[in-house]
Every structure is written in C-alpha cells, then in structure tokens.
Amino acid sequence: MERSKARRPFKDQYLIAYNALSAVLWFGVAGRTLLLLPLVGHENVYAGVGNYTKWTQTLAILEVFHILLGLLRSSFPTTLLQVVSRILLVWGVCHPFEEPKNSFFYSTMLLAWGVTEICRYSYYVTSIVGRTPAFLTWLRYNTFYILYPMGAGSEALCIYRALGEAKSFNEILYWVFVGILVTYPPGLYNQYTHMIKQRRKNIRGKKRER
C-alpha cells in the first residue's frame, strides 16, 4: 500500500522519462559536435552527427501533442513555431543542400541547440521531481542571452547559404526561404522577450520567497 501511495502519476513518470531521454540525446548532439569539430573540421560535422540530429529534433514533435493533450501548460504557438522551424532546418534546409550542412554555422547551430536543450530538459526533469538545483535554474534562465542569438543567427545563415541551391532546384522554394529569413528578427525578439519574462518570473520570484 505504501509503495502505491508513493508512486508518481503516470503523466509525471512519462514526462520525466521523455525529458530525461531528450536531455541525453541532445547531450549526444552537443558532445559529438564538439568532438568532431577539431578532428574532422566543420565541413564534415554533418556526416558524423547529421542523421542523429534529425531524428533527435524530430522527436520534439511529441511536445506539440503534449500541449494538445493537456500534459503541458506551455504556449502552443511558441512551441509549434519552434518545433516547425527546427524541423524545416534539419529536413528542409540542411538535409537536401550542401552549402548549409558544410558551413561552420551548422556546427554553431547544433552547439546552441544542444546546450539550450540540455539545460531545458534537465530543468524540466528536476522540476517534476521537485528538486531543482539552483545552478540549473540559473543556467536555464541565463544562458539564453547568448545561446538564442547564437542559435537564431546560425539558423538564418544556414538558410542564407542554401538560397543558391534552392533557387537552382525550385524558384518558389527560394522565395519561401527568403520569406522565412524576413521572419527571423521579429521571431528572435518574440522568443527573447518571452524568456526574459520567464526569467523574471522564475528567478526573481524565488528570491522574493527567500
């Protein structure tokens, strides 16, 4: 009886497992990228981590369904935008075209994504468990100041480098990519201000509690 009472709800068990798995997978993305860069150069990073990254990012589609099913209370538009934009980058930009996948910006994009997601998913796990270390809260709500511009800038530059090949492949696709590039400044501003609000709420709020 005591064991059954101590068990966490299935929802919590599932979210702990999902977030822990995601943190480990993104650690693999960041770790592989860091190892490959000095060993084979940025031109060959995609060959070593590209497929792994595509499927790791594709797993994040589940987060859209988590919100729709009521498992999470995150912003649906923000989550959908982030997931769709990254799926586009790994499958629609870097997978079919050589220029972006062979550029240094592909590596910096993966590093920004990797570190961001390691912090985010680890924070989610400890939040559900109810034991979040202070350093993890600090990382979650401070590293974005550098990582968000680094990630968004790298994403935009990967799309920019794909323009030539995209135009040769299909002119409509070229203009789709141009249109996406135009959305980056307001998109980054929206994400940045959202995280600043979250930082104020989570870090300053905890200081007041003390």
Q: Residue 209: what pLDDT?
A: 47
If one compares 206 and 104, the residue with the highest pLDDT of the two is 104
pLDDT for 60-106, tens place per residue? Answer: 999 999 999 999 888 898 889 889 999 999 999 999 999 999 999 99
Say whether pLDDT at 206 is over 80: no
Q: How many C-beta neighbours within 10 Å does residue 144 have?
A: 23
Q: Residue 64: what pLDDT?
A: 95
Angle between helices 104-129 and 45-58 (to 10 degrees): 40
Of 106, 117, 155, 160, the active-site residue reads: 155
Helices (H), 8-103: 10-40, 45-58, 61-68, 76-87, 98-101
pTM above 0.85, yes or no: yes
Q: Residue 205: what pLDDT?
A: 55
Say whether pLDDT at 207 is over 60: no
Give the span between the Cα atoms of 56 and 65, in whole angstroms.
16
pLDDT for 127-165, tens place per residue? Answer: 999 989 999 999 999 999 999 999 999 999 999 999 999
* Confidence label for 192 from pLDDT (cuts 50, 70 and 90): confident
Dihedral sign computed on CA atoms, order 40, 90, 163, 77: negative
Give the span between the Cα atoms of 207 and 33, in whole angstroms.
36
Of 14, 43, 99, 148, the active-site residue reads: 148
Give the mean pLDDT of 107-124.
97
pLDDT for 35-52, tens place per residue? Answer: 999 999 999 999 999 999
Which amino acid would we find at residue 99? E
Q: What percent of the chain has pLDDT over 70?
A: 94
Q: Residue 4: what pLDDT?
A: 40
Answer yes or no: 148 catalytic.
yes
Q: Residue 200: what pLDDT?
A: 82
Answer yes or no: 171 catalytic.
no
Mean pLDDT (the chain, rounded): 91
